[in-house]
Amino acid sequence: MDLYILDPDINQLGIIDGYSSLRWRRRFFEPGEVELHCPATAEALTLLRPENIIHRLDRQEAAIIEGVDIKSTDAGDEITATGRMGSSMLDRRIITPTINFSGTVEDAMRKIITENRPPSNLVFGTAGGYSASCTFQATGKGVLAVCTALARSAPLGFRCRLDVPGRQWIFEVYDGIDRTVTQHNRPYVLFSDEFRNIVNPKYEINTTGAANYAYVAGQDSGENRVIVTVDQTGGAPLRELWVDARDLQQAEGQSLDDYKAQLTQRGVEKLAETARVENFSADAVDTANFAYLTDWDLGDIVSFEKWGIRIDQRITEIEEVDEGGVFTVTPVCGNPLPETLDLGSDT
């Protein structure tokens, strides 16, 4: 597979075609990662530098190199380049001044990016018109961290797609397709022993620290403190969470209902962080029925079945590994491990 290396202005510099290992990890709610190992030739040393871009013609995502490691091995000198997909550029911007927003998650992401000094070669793709909504106040936080928190709460994916002819990155929000065995609108996708399309399966469930009911406490104190509740129990046993949101203050002229909506959004995001961990991962074997990128892709909701357990959940990560000419694809279906994300102020 040829890897095209471009400079930060999206001009082609050269091609890497002799590598020993490539790991290409795609993620739905945040930037994916790349790790490339190849001989430290003069050409590779020139091409694989921080800020340069690794581009594949068969993928919409492209990676920005962030780290380079060179070392001697028994097989000769080796260079390792690591980085993240294009949306990682949002990690370089901080929200300032404060943004108060109420509307769709997709519009929120676009507003956050637009108002916080976006790169000159970043443009917006066609809006998807997704209805998931949010109300929040944010300041002093990274643009990427806030977009990730909003994406998880929606849930929606986002990416910066590389447009080489236009020499630009295109930001877009997207959603997957329901391909579970329980829907009847399209052919289903099932990873199971019956279809012989998975190897090395792994299932994990962990409810430590999980919560489904939040008390979100805003401004004031004592009996005057503004507190809202967010109920996501859905009939499950009650697991409560206290969210101190005193950093969210009612703005001048803001209605109490709008302020409470902001508190509710904070609760939704905190519950998304503390959702129980349940995921299923396995090396996927392409079959005539369920071919990667044709019948299923990142963000799609599919079915996994093993050990008498079936889960119908979203593919949140896909790791592609090309090592020694052997190509494996490992989808991860379900909730990823919880992360600490906060839309509030650092002050």
Give the chain's length.
347
Distance CA 35, CA 48 (A): 11
Q: What pLDDT does 196 receive?
A: 87
Whose CA is closest to 28, among 158, 214, 221, 179? Answer: 158
Phi first, then psi: what are they for 149, rounded to 5°?
A: -60, -45
Strand partners, 79: 38, 70
Distance CA 85, CA 318 (A): 13
CA torsion, ordered 344, 245, 148, 33, to nearest 10 deg: 80
For the purposes of burial, counting CB atoms within 10 Å of the CB of 16, is it exposed (0-12), middle (13-18) or buried (19 or more)?
A: buried
Q: What pLDDT does 335 receive?
A: 65
Check: CB of residue 12 under 8 Å from CB of residue 6: yes
Whose CA is closest to 39, among 76, 82, 1? Answer: 76
Distance CA 315, CA 300 (A): 6
Q: What pLDDT does 120 receive?
A: 95
* Segments in the chain forming alpha helices (H): 42-47, 105-114, 143-153, 256-273
Per-residue pLDDT of 14-39, as tens digits, reads 999 999 999 999 999 999 999 999 99
Q: Which own/partner contact pairs does 11-20 have at CB distance under 8 Å and 24+ positions apart?
A: 11/167, 12/164, 13/46, 13/47, 13/52, 14/43, 14/46, 14/47, 16/43, 16/44, 16/47, 16/48, 16/54, 19/322, 20/78, 20/323, 20/324
Q: What angle do CA 107, 113, 117 make, to 5 degrees?
A: 150
Joined tokens for residue 327: 């190509």
Q: What pLDDT does 282 receive?
A: 86
Q: What stretches in the chain show pLDDT beneath 50?
A: 336-347
Task: State the amino acid at position 55 in one-letter form.
Answer: H
Architecture of the 89-174 domain: 3-Layer(bab) Sandwich (3.55)
Q: What pLDDT does 272 receive?
A: 86
Q: What pLDDT does 344 receive?
A: 40
Q: What pLDDT does 88 receive?
A: 98
Q: Would you tell me the crossing angle of helices 143-153 and 105-114 to the nearest 10 degrees?
A: 180
